[in-house]
A and B are shown apart, each in its own frame.
Chain A
Amino acid sequence: MSLKIMISGFYSGPSPSAGLGIARSLRQAFPDAHITGIDYWEGSSGLAHEVLDERLVFPSWQFIDQAEHVAFIKKNLDDGAYYLSALDMEVEWLAGKLNHHRLLTPQKSSLAFANKPDVKVGELLPFAQPEIYQDGLDDQKLYDFCRRHSWRVWVKGAFHGATFATSWAQLERARLSYGFKDDPHGVSYQSHVRGTEESICFSSYQGELLDAVMMEKRVTTPEGKTWSGSVRGLDADKMAVLAKAVRAMNWTGGGELELLRDEDDRLWLMEFNPRFPAWIHGSSLAGHNLPAALVGAASRLQPRVQGGVQYAQEFTRVVLEIPVPTQIGLPRVMLPAHGQVVNASKYGRTFAPLEEVVRAKSRTEPAKVDAPVLCSSFVREVSQVVQANAATPERVLLKETLDNRLSFAARQATLTSANAKLTMAYSIKTCPEQNYLDRAFRNGLLAEAISMAEVDAALATGWEPSQIILNGPAKWWPKSMEDNQGLRAVFCDSVEEFERLVHSSRRDQLWGLRLKLPSFHSRFGIDVSDLKTFARLRSLITSIPDEVDFGIHVHLASNLIGNGHWQDAVQSAAEWAEALVAGTHKNVAVFDMGGGYHPRDFETLAWQNVLSYIAERLPTVREVVAEPGRAISQDTMILRTTILDIRRTGDVIDEIVVDTCISDLPLIRVYPHRFMLMQAGAVSSVATGSVRVLGRVCMEDDIISEGLALPQDLQIGDQLIIADAGAYERSMSYGFGFGRIAAAH
């Protein structure tokens, strides 16, 4: 009886399956085998390849009778065929349905080591693993995770798909596209690792490692798929470790460990695919025929080794036109829908129903909705200040929180290191309400202004000119450069402004430059990477009057770029500060780090370390300035809003309308806010969920939340409390939808 092999997964488009590569490798090793190709769409072009003896096309999984299909595969296995699947989801599905010595895919207990996102096989291997956040229901923790990883985060679907997110808005869009609302636990988040891509591919039968290779991707497609690679056998150390891991998993089948090699030569485990990769025939061309090893071990047949073959360590793909067998034919072209520019392949849709089946199988219990735990003192203060009967929408000040923030800032302003001290300057623009200015002044903070109007507000509050720092691209507005002299510091936003200042009769305690760092995107500051600008600045610095000191300012909001990037920016600015004054008679006296800190980062940042770094790097600096505004005021206001309408699909609430809107909360989609529900006077925390919260105005983008976990007994008139509604949510809010034009000032 000839060797019969069935292989599924023959899509050979831009993101191909491995079926064709497996078939070609097996044909090389078993020339007389009867090889059957299986897929679930006639457009899977690998089925047309001449390597196959037989082709079976099944309908989309929506129309597959699972019992019938299992019986079909089992009958073939019983009749002596070997079955290899190149489809992740089919591998998952088979693991729970069949256990047969000729089924060459991993069993359920083995797959437990490969399940995303927290791949357990990582515990068995000597590779670093990126941090993963999976508890998708607490957006505050997720937001902390993203900032901790400098907003370089992958949003990943349960089985396939990964989107790189660099902002909260991108992250929200990506997770919605991966079915977050239906299965929030199916979406995970992984920190990015910068490196070059490699893979370890192995073949194993019943826990015995048969062979393995390492492949370095040399050319990839725009989607990151392998196009060309270099293959080598695995070194003895890695082989031994892998053999132990494969034994522990009792693995049968192919497997691929996707790795990244970073700049410092560390290998990171990114993914574990429970099947051969699409480039598997590249390994066979290099003399490591892993599918043949697998079938050989299972069948006890000796794969043919071709004599005189020159193995190639490197492989590449080509694009070839081949005839389509008439018994399959091609799919007809569907008319494009309105607005559809490209009629894309329907391959992905073929598996959507199977994904549902596998997902349902992997769920052990319904998605658990745990509301985020809010700080008890915060909830107590909120409960004390809200008055259920007051008109809504109503923004309410949390005085206790504000005082705590200000006193924390004041305490940091006592830190010193060598000759330098840390100074805190309240950023007026973030919340210019007079009670905020008064409290900041009373706590001993300096004032940071971005216009002469704000300088006047600071002076009116009680700050002396020598306690005011002036920044911004249009700082002299609405006055002129001659006004309000004697300020503590003025930082210029352009070379031209700096030149005018240097040649003016104006005098302040210090003049400085706001830097635009080469690798950071910002519309602000001076581009020091331009060598002409660099030279011009150095020349101008020598023209600063002797009685005026020199300083450097850098502002990149850690809230938006993340903590690591912020630290990089500060350290980079220190390097530029040194470069700018080297060889001039001026020293850097003040180093201003700007603001934009998230309140939680502000309280956890190692200020002493930052101060010490600057003091050591720039010994002439006497003052290191931070300009908190958002950090002090963002979570010091809440906004209470009333539910005006409740909409249901069937019996389930899917949307509500509230009486607040984007003009009250202009940054509502820029960062995640904490939500609370007030029912019968009691305040409770609300988790992320499936009920969309719509604002009151007739604007398409007036969406307050894409999804909250709200109870089904919700009533019109119940109230939501939206926290984190201070800072720019307050200062940039505007009157809209009142039947009149709100005043400009």
Chain B
Amino acid sequence: MALDLVASLPRIEFVGRVHSELVHHGTCCDAAQTWLRAMHRSWSFRASSKSSGRVPVWLKHHYHWGAVQWPISWCEAVRSRAIDCGVFAAFARYIMQHEYHAAFPAQILLQQPKTYTKQWQQKWADVRQMSNWIGGDHVYHEVCAVQEEEHGEVRIYDPTEGWWIAPEFSEGINGLQGICVMSDEILNWGSQQVGQGQWLLASKL
């Protein structure tokens, strides 16, 4: 039923699509992945901040958000100045999973004004990339679901923006309108449940 609701949104063709996967060539992409891990360790400051250092906040500061040519490989993506949310999420997920944190792909629907989406559509068209992630005043956005070890709950981290997304739907620019977590199990997200690729949508949708 949830997917039916999403399908009713204009031109959101991405919804229901699996998460972005980067191409792995072999040795060159192995090196790119080791570079990512080493970069993360350098920026996580676990001992000095006495924290887990699991979330790769540094990605937001190292890369710009922008269109990439899909399909893209690990060795190409790490060298890019601009990466899209699919690459951000793939990087973040790889880093967290490598350090034994349970991290799952997740998609969210964000409300965005048409003054934004029209400009983005043009920018993506300029580099001959599909803008089917944009649907009028909503966009598809790829993020990470991070499972809390202690509480068995999941939190949503947006590596493109470097912020956590609170477990509540909201309106306005960047307002959260829907979420889909690609986990095998159903997980607690605030007072709601997500997982198994099922969309959870704001009631007004």
User: B-contacting residues of A (Cβ < 8 Å)?
Assistant: 149-150, 152, 193-194, 262-265, 517-520, 528-529, 531, 534-535, 538, 562-565, 567-568, 571-572, 575-576, 578-579, 582-583
Given the known interface contacts A531-B79, A583-B27, the answer about A575 and B48 at a Cβ–Cβ threshold of 8 Å is no
Given A193, A194, A265, A579, which contacts B31 in the complex, CB threshold below 8 Å?
Answer: A579
Given the known interface contacts A263-B51, A564-B48, the answer about A519 and B42 at a Cβ–Cβ threshold of 8 Å is yes
Q: B47 contacts A531, CB within 8 Å? A: no
Check B119 for interface membership: any CB of A closer than 8 A: no
Given B31, B41, B48, which contacts A583 in the complex, CB threshold below 8 Å?
Answer: B31
Inter-chain CA distance A265–B27, complex, in Å, is 37
Q: Which residues of B contact A563 (CB under 8 A)?
A: 47
Given the known interface contacts A531-B35, A538-B31, the answer about A568 and B79 at a Cβ–Cβ threshold of 8 Å is no
Contact with A along B5-47 (1 / 0, CB 8 A): 0000000000000000000000100110011011101111111
Q: A528 contacts B51, CB within 8 Å? A: no
Given the known interface contacts A194-B51, A263-B53, A265-B155, the answer about A579 and B45 at a Cβ–Cβ threshold of 8 Å is no
Q: B51 contacts A571, CB within 8 Å? A: no
Q: Which residues of B contact A571 (CB under 8 A)?
A: 41, 46-47
Q: B38 contacts A576, CB within 8 Å? A: yes
User: What is the distance, in angstroms, from B93's C-beta to the closest C-beta of chain A?
Assistant: 17
User: What is the distance, in angstroms, from B33's C-beta to the closest C-beta of chain A?
Assistant: 9
Q: B52 contacts A263, CB within 8 Å? A: yes
Q: Which residues of B contact A529 (CB under 8 A)?
A: 39, 42
Main secondary structure of the interface of B (DSSP, over half): helix
Given A534, A575, A582, which contacts B41 in the complex, CB threshold below 8 Å?
Answer: A575
Given B34, B37, B45, B148, which contacts A519 in the complex, CB threshold below 8 Å?
Answer: B45
Q: A575 contacts B38, CB within 8 Å? A: yes
Given the known interface contacts A538-B31, A565-B48, the answer about A575 and B43 at a Cβ–Cβ threshold of 8 Å is no
Check B50 for interface membership: any CB of A closer than 8 A: yes
Number of inter-chain CB pairs below 8 Å: 83
Q: B155 contacts A576, CB within 8 Å? A: no
User: What is the distance, in angstroms, from A587's C-beta to the closest C-beta of chain B?
Assistant: 15
Check B78 for interface membership: any CB of A closer than 8 A: yes
Check B203 for interface membership: any CB of A closer than 8 A: no
For B149, give the chain A residue with the smallest CB separation: A264
Q: Which residues of B contact A265 (CB under 8 A)?
A: 148, 155
For A567, give the chain B residue with the smallest CB separation: B47
A-B contact pairs, 6 of them (CB 8 A): A265-B148, A519-B43, A529-B39, A564-B49, A575-B38, A578-B34
User: What is the distance, in angstroms, from B6's C-beta to the closest C-beta of chain A?
Assistant: 26
The tally of residues in B whose CB lies under 8 Å from a CB in A reads 29
5 more contacts with CB within 8 A, not counting A520-B42, A582-B34, are A517-B42, A531-B78, A568-B47, A575-B42, A583-B30
Inter-chain CA distance A574–B75, complex, in Å, is 22
Inter-chain CA distance A579–B48, complex, in Å, is 23
User: What is the distance, in angstroms, from A235's C-beta to the closest C-beta of chain B?
Assistant: 11
User: What is the distance, in angstroms, from A438's C-beta to the closest C-beta of chain B?
Assistant: 37
Given the known interface contacts A575-B37, A583-B30, the answer about A564 and B50 at a Cβ–Cβ threshold of 8 Å is yes
User: What is the distance, in angstroms, from B162's C-beta to the closest C-beta of chain A?
Assistant: 11
Q: B27 contacts A518, CB within 8 Å? A: no
Check B55 for interface membership: any CB of A closer than 8 A: yes
Inter-chain CA distance A534–B38, complex, in Å, is 11
Q: A534 contacts B35, CB within 8 Å? A: yes
Q: B38 contacts A565, CB within 8 Å? A: no
User: What is the distance, in angstroms, from B12's C-beta to the closest C-beta of chain A?
Assistant: 26
User: What is the distance, in angstroms, from B106's C-beta to the closest C-beta of chain A?
Assistant: 18
Q: B46 contacts A568, CB within 8 Å? A: yes
Given A150, A568, A575, A582, which contacts B30 in the complex, CB threshold below 8 Å?
Answer: A582
Q: B34 contacts A152, CB within 8 Å? A: no
Q: A576 contacts B42, CB within 8 Å? A: yes
Inter-chain CA distance A149–B49, complex, in Å, is 8
Given B37, B46, B51, B54, which contacts A579 in the complex, CB threshold below 8 Å?
Answer: B37
For A538, give the chain B residue with the smallest CB separation: B31
Q: Which residues of B contact A564 (CB under 8 A)?
A: 45, 47-50
Q: Which residues of B contact A263 (CB under 8 A)?
A: 49, 51-55, 57
Q: Which residues of A contact B48 (CB under 8 A)?
A: 149-150, 152, 562, 564-565, 567-568
User: What is the distance, in angstroms, from B78's C-beta to the closest C-beta of chain A?
Assistant: 6
Q: Which residues of B contact A583 (CB under 8 A)?
A: 27, 30-31
Q: Which residues of A contact B42 (CB under 8 A)?
A: 517-520, 529, 572, 575-576
The 7 A-B pairs at the shortest CB distance, nearest first, are namely A564-B48, A579-B34, A150-B48, A567-B47, A575-B41, A564-B47, A579-B38
Most buried by A among B51, B54, B155: B51
Q: Which residues of B contact A149 (CB under 8 A)?
A: 48
For B52, give the chain A residue with the smallest CB separation: A264
Inter-chain CA distance A476–B166, complex, in Å, is 57
Most buried by A among B45, B51, B52, B53: B45
For A581, give the chain B residue with the smallest CB separation: B34
Inter-chain CA distance A576–B53, complex, in Å, is 17
